[in-house]
């Protein structure tokens, strides 16, 4: 009997490049190596674009202009001086000072192109003291990317995005906050439909929300020139990643003059956005002191968010920056759905003011930094009747001002990278369709047990303004008052906090014994 042939799945260019680059990492931490690899990808991309424009000028008989930056900038191409070009780097790849040459190239590009101010890695290569042979091999690997090969496929954008996700997975729990999994970002974009106007992200990480917004516009035959992008990022290295991510895709964006804390140093104080997409830090503690930001205009007359947790600080920051018809889709830990104290007062007022449109529970294991299930909130300042056109699609929205849509997606998703879950494109389409049908009232929406429920505000008030979906969605063969998955998550968080407190108490006790001259172990 003839042996059955098996066809091996061919690796994509992204996978092949990642495998090669990762093998060359050696002892360098992923969090550091990320900036090395992504910086080189940017350098290769910028150089390829420069060489293509240079060839264009020569073909037009304009050789005398090939070293004049104006003739590159007019076509949105970065000007590269000779020592900053990829060809120069490759020629010197085996030299002992190649790390210094790369740092110099990136510094020179940034200096010659004001739009890249603060965008490129600085002194990474020299400081990390990478093995010369490994760095030379990495340069050869990056050299295999033909960024101009298929502009329609956006090869370099795909590679950059793939590498961002792989580095986020490699960094794992407690790190990787710079990246929101792509399928979640796609879901937010498909639900709030950022088609034209101002898009804002107050905790923009590496800029994934902006990239998917542009992809949404392009897939619906819109014009990305009708979108303005504003963002802010606290971590300087991540701020650079975001600026590179936008530059690689030819996206103009205002990420502020510098990396800065959104609460303490708002870079867009007077901004009013049509769309907000965000994944701010979960359960951020001590985000302000008791005396800070008491009279901040972003609280809009609501109670001041508690110092113990920034969740409602983020909610009110985003609500305050919505335009008259603005909509926001953002992620928060599930605890924000039912907290007490000032959080309760703020949530009650948000609900009574008709701002909360939808609450969507996501599956566990979607994030690379935490295993917990989280919530997608949608705030909408225009839940009243209106018509909206998205490309060829026209939607007639009906008045849902006195209702909130609850959705539970914890049984939806497909395996990804062995231990993670993501949404398939078909699942994203179906979820978004449910939401849009609900918005339009007469488009065939119906409550579905264990999936979705439209609650009138009177019901929400009777449940004391809780936004926990399991209090509204019908669950089959389950005590209607207990969502066991939700309960386990809360208990897990409480247990983790107790363990931390116990460890802190032990450390304090050891210090006391040490002062008394005793050396003991606990």
Q: What is the pTM of this model?
A: 0.85
Collapsing DSSP to helix, strand or coil, 4 comes out as coil
Q: Where residue 100 falls among pLDDT bands split at 50, 70, 90?
A: very high
Instruction: Please compute Rg for the chain using Cα positions.
Output: 25
Instruction: Say yes or no to pLDDT of 442 above 80.
Output: no
pLDDT score of 497: 60
Instruction: Say yes or no to pLDDT of 382 above 60.
Output: yes
pLDDT score of 480: 46
Q: Which fold has domain 13-170?
A: Ferritin (1.20.1260)
In percent, the amount of the chain with pLDDT more than 90 equals 59
Higher pLDDT, 437 or 13: 437
pLDDT score of 520: 58
Instruction: Say yes or no to pLDDT of 387 above 70.
Output: yes
Cα-based distances in Å from 355 to 401, 442, 460: 8, 22, 14
- What tens digit of pLDDT does each residue of 222-260 get? 998 899 999 999 999 889 999 999 998 888 899 999 999
In percent, the amount of the chain with pLDDT more than 70 equals 88
Instruction: Say yes or no to pLDDT of 323 above 90.
Output: yes
Instruction: Say yes or no to pLDDT of 6 above 50.
Output: no
pLDDT score of 501: 62
**CATH code assigned to 173-471:** 3.40.50.150
Collapsing DSSP to helix, strand or coil, 135 comes out as helix
Interatomic CA distance for residues 383 and 192, integer angstroms: 12
Q: Where residue 481 falls among pLDDT bands split at 50, 70, 90?
A: very low
| Intervals of CATH 1.20.1260.30 along the chain | 13-170
Instruction: Say yes or no to pLDDT of 60 above 80.
Output: yes
pLDDT score of 444: 85
pLDDT score of 498: 66
Interatomic CA distance for residues 100 and 132, integer angstroms: 11
| Intervals of CATH 3.40.50.150 along the chain | 173-471
Interatomic CA distance for residues 328 and 351, integer angstroms: 15
Q: Where residue 521 falls among pLDDT bands split at 50, 70, 90?
A: low
Instruction: Give CA angle at 201 (170, 344), nearest 5°.
Output: 100
CA-based torsion, 506, 512, 513, 517: positive or negative: positive
Instruction: Say yes or no to pLDDT of 194 above 90.
Output: yes
């Amino acid at each position: 009997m003839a042996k059955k042939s098996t066809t091996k799945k061919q690796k994509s260019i992204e996978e092949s490049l990642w495998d090669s680059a990762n093998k060359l990492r050696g002892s360098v931490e992923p969090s550091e190596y990320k900036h090395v690899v992504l910086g080189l990808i940017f350098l290769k991309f910028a150089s390829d674009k420069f060489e293509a424009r240079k060839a264009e000028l020569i073909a037009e008989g304009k050789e005398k202009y090939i070293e004049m930056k104006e003739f590159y900038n007019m076509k949105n191409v970065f000007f590269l001086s000779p020592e900053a070009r990829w060809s120069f780097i490759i020629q010197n790849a085996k030299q002992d000072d190649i790390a210094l040459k790369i740092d110099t190239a990136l510094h020179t590009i940034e200096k010659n192109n004001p739009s890249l101010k603060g965008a490129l890695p600085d002194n990474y290569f020299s400081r990390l003291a990478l093995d010369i042979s490994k760095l030379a091999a990495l340069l050869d690997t990056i050299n295999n990317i033909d960024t101009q090969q298929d502009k329609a496929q956006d090869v370099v954008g795909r590679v950059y995005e793939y590498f961002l996700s792989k580095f986020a997975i490699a960094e794992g729990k407690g790190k990787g906050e710079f990246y929101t999994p792509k399928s979640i970002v796609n879901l937010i974009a498909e639900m709030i439909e950022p088609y034209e106007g101002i898009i804002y992200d107050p905790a923009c990480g590496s800029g994934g929300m902006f990239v998917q917004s542009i992809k949404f516009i392009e897939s619906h035959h819109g014009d990305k020139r009708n979108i303005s992008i504003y963002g802010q990022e606290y971590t300087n290295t991540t701020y650079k990643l975001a600026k590179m991510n936008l530059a690689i895709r030819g996206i103009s964006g205002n990420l502020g003059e510098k990396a800065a804390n959104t609460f303490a140093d708002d870079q867009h104080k007077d901004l009013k956005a049509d769309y907000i997409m965000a994944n701010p830090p979960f359960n951020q503690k001590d985000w302000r002191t008791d005396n800070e930001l008491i009279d901040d205009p972003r609280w809009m007359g609501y109670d001041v968010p508690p110092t113990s947790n920034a969740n409602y600080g983020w909610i009110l920051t985003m609500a305050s920056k919505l335009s008259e018809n603005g909509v926001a889709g953002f992620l928060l830990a599930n605890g924000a759905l039912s907290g007490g104290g000032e959080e309760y007062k703020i949530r009650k007022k948000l609900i009574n003011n008709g701002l909360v449109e939808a609450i969507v529970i996501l599956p566990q294991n979607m994030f690379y930094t935490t295993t917990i299930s989280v919530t997608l909130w949608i705030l909408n300042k225009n839940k009243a009747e209106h018509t909206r056109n998205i490309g060829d699609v026209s939607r007639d929205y009906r008045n849902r001002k006195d209702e909130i849509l609850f959705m539970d997606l914890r049984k939806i998703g497909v395996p990804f990278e062995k231990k993670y879950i993501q949404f398939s494109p078909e699942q994203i389409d179906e979820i978004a369709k449910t939401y849009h049908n609900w918005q339009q009232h007469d488009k065939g929406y119906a409550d579905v047990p264990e999936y979705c429920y439209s609650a009138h505000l009177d019901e929400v008030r009777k449940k004391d303004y809780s936004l926990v979906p399991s209090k509204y969605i019908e669950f089959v063969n389950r005590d209607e008052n207990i969502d066991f998955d939700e309960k386990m998550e809360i208990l897990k968080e409480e247990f983790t906090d107790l363990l931390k407190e116990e460890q802190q108490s032990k450390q304090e006790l050891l210090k006391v014994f040490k002062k008394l001259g005793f050396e003991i172990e606990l």
